[in-house]
Structure 1
Amino acid sequence: MQYRSTRGSKENTLTAPQAIIQGLAQDGGLYVPVAFPQANFKLEDLSKLSYKQIAAMVISLFFDDFTKEQITTAVQSAYSEQWDDRSIVPIEKHDNHFYMELFHGPTLAFKDIALQMLPQLMTRAVQIEKIDKDIIILTATSGDTGTASMRGFANQKGTDVIVFYPEGGVSPVQLKQMLSQRGNNLRAIAIKGNFDDAQTEVKKIFNDDSFKNRLNANGYQFSSANSMNIGRLVPQIFYYLYTYGQLVRRQEIKLGDEVNFAVPTGNFGDILAGYYAKKLGLPIKKLICASNENNVLTDFFNNGVYDKRRKFHLTNAPAMDILVSSNLERLLFDLYDENNYEVASLMNQLTQRGHYQVSGEVFTKLQKNFAAGFATEEEIKSEIKRVYNYDRYVIDPHTAVGSFVANQYQKKTGDQIPMVIVSTASPYKFPETVYEAITGGPSMQTGVGAIKELHDELGGQLSIGVRALFDREPKTEKIIEPNDMEKEISSILDLK
């Protein structure tokens, strides 16, 4: 299995381990398979397989350089006792919708699914390639990626993690998780700006040849834990296949029935994984792209124009406060029939002008596979309240975006085929918003204090991941200018 850049020649390829280690292509593009794999399973197999078995099956499809033993041990390590539900991804039914719960890992968000696996793939890739340098995981985060990558790579030999996040742009719980995560190879630093500022600077640093040469001279090499890394994206395919199999097993749907997935997304990785699952043969009718008030993706799917020239909103669904959705580039590559010149041109237009428009043919393909909508902050709170009032099921603000947009889509289209809502985070990760939505009054505290208030309101048992938040003292927050990120990395690594 070979990988190429979305902006590069088909002849310039890497193996899967090389693509995982490198993370981001040198030309600024993202790695994609040279030939998309053909499924080696039948649809009826999915209802008979455990989550771990599906994970191993998908990894062997995309990353066939890894031995069967390497894949088996990686899967066992990634999906073990750090999960508070043995199924890894339980599926709850409420108000005729299925909520695919992806937050039962150690940091209470869907990023754990991939970021418990990526370190396993990374360490084995380094062994395969006989890399003698330390891997520096350099990542921009709007909250959950930072926490999950730090937890996944904590104390992993031969790796260091440096995370940049927007000051004031993550929730109090996300901030505490990052600043209190234990591990002598972990750093989390705030920047004065938003997520897009952090992500743009990270991409720039990745592509700075002179800085890369300094790293190499000091025995280091960059990689990424963002969903720009193919080793992080592929594990997100697992849960689409698993969920479909479970719905068949529970006789909620018949084998071969189509389903819709409503996916709250900012950087477009989660929903792209659903598109890849569809390419593998999963009967998905529509992938419904759900955004908050930073609705650049909603406009894109509705009119074919991607335009980041708009006001940036800090919202109560902060993981989606993004205006430049990196993984959309992989979708464009696919829809433009793998024409790297077209993709490079569009990405250049976005950088230079702040916008681009896709062709009529590509727009038709978008309309066939996707629908889109968004929710305001008030609509998010109203949806949390509506779902809670229905049967006391509690959802977080990001899940509420998906749930609201799913209902909006059904009312608009009359499409009533089974709807799966991708539930991306525990409600206890955003207790201030959830408490206010349910009670109608503001939480008197933030962070851990707000968790206590919410728990007093809801009752029940707190998961291990939530309880861990009460035990750890956070480090002092460090805040720098975006332009100083490269200098900060040099200082952390003591580069000569």
Structure 2
Amino acid sequence: MELSYQSTRGGEAGVTASQAILKGLAADGGLFMPCFIPKLDKTMKELSLMTYQETAYEVMKLFLTDYTEAELKSCIERAYDSKFDTQEIAPLSKADGAYYLELYHGSTIAFKDMALSILPHLMTTAAKKNQVKNKIVILTATSGDTGKAAMAGFADVEGTEIIVFYPRDGVSRVQELQMVTQKGDNTHVAAIHGNFDDAQTGVKKIFGDKEFADFLETKGYQLSSANSINIGRLVPQIVYYVYAYAKLLSTGELADGEWINVTVPTGNFGNILAAYFAKQMGVPVKTLICASNDNKVLFDFFQSGTYDRNREFILTSSPSMDILISSNLERLIYLSTGCDAALSAALMKELSEKGSYTVTGEMKEKMADFAGGFALEEENRATIKDLFDRTGYLIDTHTGVAAAVYRNYRQSTGDNTKTVIASTASPYKFSRNVLEAIEGKQETEDEFQIIDHLAGVSGIPIPLAVEEIRTAPVRHNTECDADQMKETVLRFLG
């Protein structure tokens, strides 16, 4: 049975999966959603005997129904290969009573690799299926990780160009070096003077500019997105939550049907939304614990039912979560309205005009599966240090937020359900902050001295992704203001 997609704002319906992946964003500014969330057609017992690649096929075939079995399996095989430094792709480590789902074993050592390794293959397959002759321009805003992972995925992929905007002072030094040293004749990067929300808003404006799209069309280009607003990013992320449950079942850590909680460090809301989709598909997930840093707009939303971005933007040591407009929340809002696109569109209009909106009591009830929590900088540092001192397990600053929030949740609720924590980046991606947390002092060494120091202290080998940028030449040095992004796109495309 073919599953079609529709816009959360009602402007488009009956769109195939491959068309939704090519477009990225709906023409009315909405996000594509499947007309229903399919149920898994394999039992957890059957899934527990499968590899990551086999699990990926079982999940993705239900959402991407216009891809043939051969097409989908080919995309999966090319994505989840030796680019990952472990055969398991997403291993689980048990520490301090929780299961850390390590999503950073791909080529750019962050969880974005899990979806961005496959998106270029899904997209080029979709272009062939839909007889697209234009060159596809991937346009993306990044808070640090998506940019590099998308560039690595799309570098020198025929028929594509990729343009990434990131906030000049809003990413870690390793994140920045990973982007500005990226190879590939079709890769372009610009640092904007502003924060991630400015970059994301600028990209959305470009997508919403019909005249600009028509102009690009005359030049043989069409825009698409690699952000988590693209359904081709969200669907592959559902896989690792299904896989995590199946894996815990296969190792005897869980009984069949036993509930788990999932804790996710959250910025743009895509990663935790994927866990919610896994729950809707039949994975026994009880509570989804949404972990925020100092920018606790999501925590406040789940507490009060009011989403309000009118607040100070705080730069933290977990920059991928320094976000005040969580784009993917629109998909949950849409579901909570009972898929009422008009109501969904009205709330998004309020957000764009007033910077806030409030959901109804009935909508809030439909989000009862979510619990919010936040951890400020000091608590994050203390959690990283405590976990490392007691168990020898080292986590990055985003996973630190999740671990701190999970501890607080367990203490305040007494809920001892077994919990999977999404571990979203290698400690080496944020080496300065991680080392400062475990040593309790400010580090004065340069980035690579710190990385070597961290390796000495932790005994964890330095990933190839970090070694590569140690001596790599800087290839990209464009900067622009947030209101110059459209001109910058045109300059990149020549």
Q: TM-score, normalised by structure 1?
A: 0.98
How far apart, CA to CA, are the structure 2 residues paired with 1:446 and 1:370?
Answer: 41
Secondary structure of the residue aligned to 2:288 is: strand
**Aligned position for 2:108:** 107
Encode CA deviations 1:177-211: one digit per residue, 9 max, x unaligned.
Answer: 00011111101101111000111111010010110
Kindly state the Cα deviation for residue 450 of structure 1 after the two structures are TM-superposed: 2.1
CA contact (8 A) 2:11 2:27 kept: no
CA contact (8 A) 1:93 1:99 kept: yes
Secondary structure of the residue aligned to 1:147 is: helix
How far apart, CA to CA, are the structure 1 residues paired with 2:461 and 2:316?
Answer: 29
**Aligned position for 2:69:** 68
How far apart, CA to CA, are the structure 2 residues paired with 1:251 and 1:261?
Answer: 18
**Aligned position for 1:425:** 425
* Percent of aligned positions that are identical: 46
**Aligned position for 2:375:** 375
Alignment of 1:317-332 (within 5 A): 317-332=318-333
Q: What is the number of equivalent residue pairs in this alignment?
A: 492
CA contact (8 A) 2:428 2:462 kept: no
CA contact (8 A) 1:110 1:425 kept: yes
Kindly state the Cα deviation for residue 440 of structure 1 after the two structures are TM-superposed: 1.3
Deviates more, 1:454-463 or 1:265-274: 454-463
Residues 1:488 and 2:488 aligned together: yes
CA contact (8 A) 2:151 2:182 kept: yes
**Aligned position for 1:400:** 400
CA contact (8 A) 2:174 2:466 kept: no
How far apart, CA to CA, are the structure 2 residues paired with 1:446 and 1:238?
Answer: 38
Residues 1:453 and 2:453 aligned together: yes
Q: Compared with structure 1, are the counterparts of its residues 117 and 234 closer, same or farther at alpha carbon in structure 2 (3 Å cutoff)?
A: same
Kindly state the Cα deviation for residue 356 of structure 1 after the two structures are TM-superposed: 0.6
Residues 1:384 and 2:384 aligned together: yes
**Aligned position for 1:215:** 216
**Residue identity in the other structure for 2:94:** K
How far apart, CA to CA, are the structure 2 residues paired with 1:205 and 1:490?
Answer: 11
**Residue identity in the other structure for 1:466:** V
Q: Compared with structure 1, are the counterparts of its residues 476 and 24 closer, same or farther at alpha carbon in structure 2 (3 Å cutoff)?
A: closer
Kindly state the Cα deviation for residue 307 of structure 1 after the two structures are TM-superposed: 0.3
Kindly state the Cα deviation for residue 46 of structure 1 after the two structures are TM-superposed: 2.0
How far apart, CA to CA, are the structure 1 residues paired with 2:460 and 2:57?
Answer: 34
**Aligned position for 2:5:** 3
Kindly state the Cα deviation for residue 57 of structure 1 after the two structures are TM-superposed: 1.3
Q: Compared with structure 1, are the counterparts of its residues 70 and 316 closer, same or farther at alpha carbon in structure 2 (3 Å cutoff)?
A: same
Secondary structure of the residue aligned to 2:238 is: helix
Encode CA deviations 1:449-470: one digit per residue, 9 max, x unaligned.
Answer: 3212211222342232232232
How far apart, CA to CA, are the structure 2 residues paired with 1:432 and 1:135?
Answer: 37
**Aligned position for 1:472:** 472
How far apart, CA to CA, are the structure 2 residues paired with 1:476 and 1:25?
Answer: 30
How far apart, CA to CA, are the structure 1 residues paired with 2:351 and 2:332?
Answer: 15
How far apart, CA to CA, are the structure 2 residues paired with 1:38 and 1:406?
Answer: 28
Alignment of 1:118-267 (within 5 A): 118-267=119-268
**Residue identity in the other structure for 2:184:** G
CA contact (8 A) 2:190 2:476 kept: no
Secondary structure of the residue aligned to 1:421 is: strand
How far apart, CA to CA, are the structure 1 residues paired with 2:72 and 2:446?
Answer: 41
How far apart, CA to CA, are the structure 2 residues paired with 1:180 and 1:463?
Answer: 16
Kindly state the Cα deviation for residue 43 of structure 1 after the two structures are TM-superposed: 2.3
Kindly state the Cα deviation for residue 9 of structure 1 after the two structures are TM-superposed: 5.0
Residues 1:23 and 2:24 aligned together: yes
**Residue identity in the other structure for 2:372:** A
Kindly state the Cα deviation for residue 49 of structure 1 after the two structures are TM-superposed: 1.1
How far apart, CA to CA, are the structure 2 residues paired with 1:90 and 1:446?
Answer: 31
**Residue identity in the other structure for 2:177:** K
**Residue identity in the other structure for 2:211:** S
Secondary structure of the residue aligned to 2:132 is: coil
How far apart, CA to CA, are the structure 1 residues paired with 2:92 and 2:283?
Answer: 17
Q: Compared with structure 1, are the counterparts of its residues 476 and 139 closer, same or farther at alpha carbon in structure 2 (3 Å cutoff)?
A: closer
**Residue identity in the other structure for 1:92:** S
Kindly state the Cα deviation for residue 446 of structure 1 after the two structures are TM-superposed: 4.1
CA contact (8 A) 1:448 1:469 kept: no
How far apart, CA to CA, are the structure 2 residues paired with 1:128 and 1:101?
Answer: 34
How far apart, CA to CA, are the structure 1 residues paired with 2:315 and 2:407?
Answer: 24
CA contact (8 A) 1:52 1:75 kept: yes
**Residue identity in the other structure for 2:472:** R
**Residue identity in the other structure for 2:195:** N
Q: CA RMSD in A?
A: 1.1
CA contact (8 A) 1:260 1:419 kept: yes
**Aligned position for 1:296:** 297
How far apart, CA to CA, are the structure 1 residues paired with 2:476 and 2:45?
Answer: 52
How far apart, CA to CA, are the structure 1 residues paired with 2:447 and 2:90?
Answer: 26
Secondary structure of the residue aligned to 1:430 is: helix
Residues 1:41 and 2:42 aligned together: yes
Encode CA deviations 1:278-297: one digit per residue, 9 max, x unaligned.
Answer: 11011100000001000000
After TM superposition, the runs of 4+ consecutive aligned structure 1 residues lying more than 4 A away are none
Q: Compared with structure 1, are the counterparts of its residues 23 and 446 closer, same or farther at alpha carbon in structure 2 (3 Å cutoff)?
A: farther
**Aligned position for 1:442:** 442
**Aligned position for 1:339:** 340
How far apart, CA to CA, are the structure 1 residues paired with 2:128 and 2:445?
Answer: 47
Q: Compared with structure 1, are the counterparts of its residues 476 and 157 closer, same or farther at alpha carbon in structure 2 (3 Å cutoff)?
A: closer
How far apart, CA to CA, are the structure 1 residues paired with 2:46 and 2:86?
Answer: 22
Deviates more, 1:441-450 or 1:351-360: 441-450
How far apart, CA to CA, are the structure 1 residues paired with 2:16 and 2:146?
Answer: 25
Secondary structure of the residue aligned to 1:473 is: coil
Secondary structure of the residue aligned to 1:431 is: helix
CA contact (8 A) 1:443 1:453 kept: no
Secondary structure of the residue aligned to 2:264 is: strand
CA contact (8 A) 1:138 1:202 kept: yes
How far apart, CA to CA, are the structure 2 residues paired with 1:96 and 1:34?
Answer: 38
How far apart, CA to CA, are the structure 2 residues paired with 1:335 and 1:391?
Answer: 40
Deviates more, 1:41-50 or 1:275-284: 41-50
Kindly state the Cα deviation for residue 58 of structure 1 after the two structures are TM-superposed: 1.4
**Residue identity in the other structure for 2:136:** I
